[in-house]
Amino acid sequence: VRKDERELPSFSVAMRKTVFGEGAERMVHKFRFLDDKSNSFIGPKMVAKESRFVDADKSYRHRMDYHREFMRTQAIASEMASKFNESIDSLAVHFSGYTAFLAKLARAPRIKFLRPLLVETQDLDLGAFSILIEPMLEHARYEKFNNNMGYVKGQKRQDLLGDDLASVNLAPDAHVTADEIKGDGLEAIEEGSEEGSEEEDADEEECDLLNSAISKPDVNTASFDFKDEDFPHAFSHFSYQMSKGSLMVVDLQGVFTVCPNGTRVYELTDPVIHKKKSKRRFKRWTF
């Protein structure tokens, strides 16, 4: 048993064939554990997730590849969320004595990703069968806070790239065609042009928290008017900064919960991670 695996007792399980929810990549079914003696449901309500692009009769290894990708993505997002929460807590050091800000900081939401579990079952028709499950979030309060194509809840999307291109002034002798300007602007950048020296690459590939970037702003001019809904998008920005531009966690969705002790938490699942194509460190990873 590897350190990231844990043995659990054997149970009978039940999964509805009817799709409970459906996204661009995944289908969700209701899932429960069963008590073998009473044949009744035990434990919390769960959901089982499977790919829209992997048929049930695919090989065991094929299905495991999908589960591995899902769990890798969610595990990396969860690690970044932990560092994001730690960085919020660390702000108190920079504002000791400013009671109004500290009180607001204590109520700042934290980010948490659900921890998925891989269940192996024996199916009469399919044989050994792996199912990816996680706790069920309250469906009525489930929201999408941003997506992987620019949407941010509560904000009007801005075509920033279009604005930038519109403001570009070309010199009279610039050899750029109108078709090139109309294109996506990315094909003109050669793959190798992004890579610097080996020392620069090694430095950029260190995914550490940028504590040195945290500084104490001028409290006479700083605005403390942050809102709960700012935090998911702030986390996406943080993940990009923390990874030094190598990764960005987006497509944040789930529920916003106020716990009995007053802690405010965004419980999230199914994130998407963008990665910088030229980074050798993440070349073998897919998200």
How high is the pLDDT of residue 202? 44
**Distance of alpha carbon 91 from alpha carbon 139, whole angstroms:** 34
- Number of neighbouring beta carbons within 10 Å of residue 66: 19
How high is the pLDDT of residue 11? 81
pLDDT-derived band at 79, boundaries 50, 70, 90 = very high
Is residue 271 a contact partner of residue 165, using CB atoms and an 8 Å limit? Answer: no
**Over residues 87-93, mean pLDDT:** 90
Estimate the share of the chain in helix, then strand, then coil, as percent rounded to the nearest 5. 30, 25, 45
Q: Identify the top-confidence range among 4-13, 218-227, 272-281.
A: 272-281
**Distance of alpha carbon 117 from alpha carbon 127, whole angstroms:** 20
**Over residues 185-195, mean pLDDT:** 34
Least confident span in 53-62, 68-77, 164-173, 263-272: 164-173
> Mutual orientation of helices 230-242 and 60-94 as an angle, nearest 10°?
100
Question: Quick check: 183 pLDDT over 50?
Answer: no
How high is the pLDDT of residue 174? 40
User: Is the pTM value of this prediction over 0.75?
Assistant: no
How high is the pLDDT of residue 176? 40
**Over residues 61-66, mean pLDDT:** 77
How high is the pLDDT of residue 6? 66
